[in-house]
Structure 1
């Protein structure tokens, strides 16, 4: 057992105790995060969820975003199956699924990006990640409450993603064709997790057929061994592009992908792959950690140039909670003390700066100094997904670490 000291936001320093972390993360999930969204986000009149919530949960905008609708359906149906079969969780997931099924797609089955409160389309289906999170939602609903229509929606949408994956913006692509074509890291990253979410529908054989290509793309094409980092964009041949997009590092994406890869490595019994993913995760964390104020930068330029994203130095909720998941899994699989030490450090920063002890839930956006500069708990991008998923993953991983300790 690691003995590094942990300064929790509401406790005295303690030894690195997996039981403590398992209990703390479980309680935060079940007693704070899930109740907050059930209390404040349900649209009783139209169906679906409001995600634009201010600090105390008041709805400040009623537009609905497919990413967040799908993610919230996934969260409650997943927790229903994995944590406890509470009827209210399943009913809450069903509430969102019904809205998505009724209003979320165009005639060709492509999922819109956003809608009005009553389901009128606002933004065209230009973004394949709307399809990805709808797939996750209905695959999880099919596990929680098996229905042929859920299975069909999930499978039809997944097949649509596979068909569009090499030109997924289609007519909505604003780039001039042929001048600087680039491949983006986001879709291979999502597919590495989405294929596992769909296994009960796709079957193990088909999922296994996806895995080598996904691992190759993530770990060989976008990973740059000379830097030890993952690029967000590469040329179609997998080469470096010395441009704003080509130099872009998104530490949160890279680290989140590494715990997806660890899960695939565990499935395959590939310890070398898990070790490589752990090393990339640690290298990315070291590279992106703000040595002056703490926390992880949002965007970086691999050559140290000024990033084009003006929000590059902000500290975002999802980056930090996904890092906690990756560190916990890295420690479980490798026992590397660096994972334990970094988990302590990231845990302290995350719980002290993002958690709102007064009104519940967590802040999403901090400035470089770690101060919350937007009082929202949800909006166009932040909803009920990254935090509950991460709390669950850390909770369960810490339990496995303790079981491993007990067996030694």
Structure 2
């Protein structure tokens, strides 16, 4: 790839991402994931797209509803995309919640609950999904479901696991970066549906929490867990770095910075992305480590050195957006490195879609295309967002570029 990008470079990249999305990744899920008998989606798909487990995980069900609804709303109003979103939304509206409106974690194929609503993120992705689906379908019931799920998130954010929290109370209280970062993105997604006062209040509070409490100002990296007051806790959880989470959170911050016309926030987010990559890039084999210990101790996660699809895809989004907004050469240099690694290792040219899990050397560790955690979300979302960013750069759209 060229060191000095021009419109031709950007146009070629836009075409690469568009083609992969529309002719490879989406057809894979359209062709293999729909459960035509019971409703909802199969996500446990092997390399060739064959179903190897029929359980249905609420995160992934809602993420697929969101994905096809968002593409319908933002790319093209295709009837088949809306039909796929409706297929999942109808199943989830019937089976996804308990009697109090809390979203389960997992269902069996028929929609009977398997795992209790122990995690706030089921509600987060339900709110995202039904917000976009409501915009696409104009169904009032979908709006009501989205708003009810969003209120669940706001109500539970201080204690996201509620009665299912296994930590002993009071000894070492910690809060997780995952909650404010996903709430920031969720609130942006629901901007069309929320009162302006709620929208701006939540965006302000999440930015403050992410960029103050979780930021290590000396290293310019984000901690995964801190004390309730934002202070560092010297333990496994307190030392944990999740580079993918930190980088993904930063493109959420960039998006908020665009909305609020806040150049300082966008620049700070880019600083953190670049600092995270300097620390998390595997200089021996390439790729981004999954977990690290901030003090250089052995991480508790045995899978710490694996290379995961979503980490690299979210990094591509952050670097493409960071370059579009700031024009900083370091964003482009890192983008080229991450792009080359990702496109050489994750896509499957024989059966389509992307592998999810590589070992440290970049060899395929699991040849599945979907499972309990990987579904129709990170790959197509990143392909779409990178396509969009490079298409705008190719057209010379500098309306979002920072002028400091």
Question: TM-score normalised to the size of structure 2?
Answer: 0.97
Contact between 2:8 and 2:394, CA under 8 Å: does it hold in 1?
no
Contact between 2:68 and 2:81, CA under 8 Å: does it hold in 1?
yes
Residue 123 of structure 1 is matched in structure 2 by 115
Residues 253-292 of structure 1 aligned to structure 2 (within 5 Å): 253-292=245-284
**CA distance in 1 between partners of 2:170 and 2:185 (Å):** 30
- For residues 140-182 of structure 1, the C-alpha deviation after alignment (integer angstroms, 9 at most, x for no partner) is 1011111110000000110111011111211101000000000
Residue 112 of structure 1 is matched in structure 2 by 104
- For residues 56-103 of structure 1, the C-alpha deviation after alignment (integer angstroms, 9 at most, x for no partner) is 000000000000000000001111111111111100110000000000
Query: What SS is found at the alignment partner of 2:52?
Result: strand
- For residues 333-362 of structure 1, the C-alpha deviation after alignment (integer angstroms, 9 at most, x for no partner) is 110011111111101100110000000000
Shift of 1:226: 1.2
Residue 219 of structure 1 is matched in structure 2 by 211
- For residues 261-315 of structure 1, the C-alpha deviation after alignment (integer angstroms, 9 at most, x for no partner) is 0010011111111000000001001110000000000000000000000000000
Shift of 1:4: 1.2
Aligned counterpart for 1:168 among listed residues 160, 172, 175: 160
Matched, 1:47 2:39: yes
Query: What SS is found at the alignment partner of 1:119?
Result: coil
**CA distance in 2 between partners of 1:190 and 1:211 (Å):** 11
Matched, 1:210 2:202: yes
**CA distance in 2 between partners of 1:405 and 1:376 (Å):** 38
Runs of 4 or more off by more than 4 Å in structure 1? Answer: 405-408
Query: What SS is found at the alignment partner of 1:17?
Result: helix
Contact between 2:7 and 2:394, CA under 8 Å: does it hold in 1?
no
**CA distance in 1 between partners of 2:208 and 2:382 (Å):** 25
**CA distance in 1 between partners of 2:398 and 2:241 (Å):** 39
Contact between 2:7 and 2:393, CA under 8 Å: does it hold in 1?
no
Contact between 2:96 and 2:103, CA under 8 Å: does it hold in 1?
yes
**CA distance in 2 between partners of 1:89 and 1:113 (Å):** 25
Residue 55 of structure 2 is matched in structure 1 by 63
Query: What SS is found at the alignment partner of 1:397?
Result: helix
Contact between 1:3 and 1:16, CA under 8 Å: does it hold in 2?
no
Aligned counterpart for 1:298 among listed residues 290, 293, 304: 290
Shift of 1:404: 3.0
Shift of 1:208: 1.1
Residue 355 of structure 1 is matched in structure 2 by 347
Residue 387 of structure 1 is matched in structure 2 by 379
Question: TM-score normalised to the size of structure 1?
Answer: 0.96
Contact between 2:7 and 2:395, CA under 8 Å: does it hold in 1?
no
Shift of 1:227: 1.4
Structure 1 pair 86–405 and aligned structure 2 pair: CA distance change class (3 A): closer
Residues 144-159 of structure 1 aligned to structure 2 (within 5 Å): 144-159=136-151
Matched, 1:102 2:103: no
Shift of 1:203: 3.0
Query: What SS is found at the alignment partner of 2:333?
Result: helix
Contact between 2:319 and 2:332, CA under 8 Å: does it hold in 1?
yes
Aligned counterpart for 1:26 among listed residues 18, 24, 29: 18
| Unmatched tracts of structure 2, length 5 or more | none
Query: What SS is found at the alignment partner of 1:122?
Result: strand
Residue 9 of structure 2 is matched in structure 1 by 17
Structure 1 pair 15–354 and aligned structure 2 pair: CA distance change class (3 A): farther
Query: What SS is found at the alignment partner of 1:60?
Result: strand
Query: What SS is found at the alignment partner of 1:201?
Result: coil
Contact between 2:224 and 2:242, CA under 8 Å: does it hold in 1?
yes
Query: What SS is found at the alignment partner of 2:389?
Result: helix
**CA distance in 2 between partners of 1:42 and 1:294 (Å):** 36
Aligned counterpart for 2:82 among listed residues 71, 85, 90: 90
Shift of 1:3: 3.8
**CA distance in 1 between partners of 2:397 and 2:165 (Å):** 51
Matched, 1:196 2:188: yes
Residue 339 of structure 1 is matched in structure 2 by 331
Matched, 1:73 2:65: yes
Contact between 1:4 and 1:15, CA under 8 Å: does it hold in 2?
no
Shift of 1:209: 1.5
Residue 128 of structure 2 is matched in structure 1 by 136
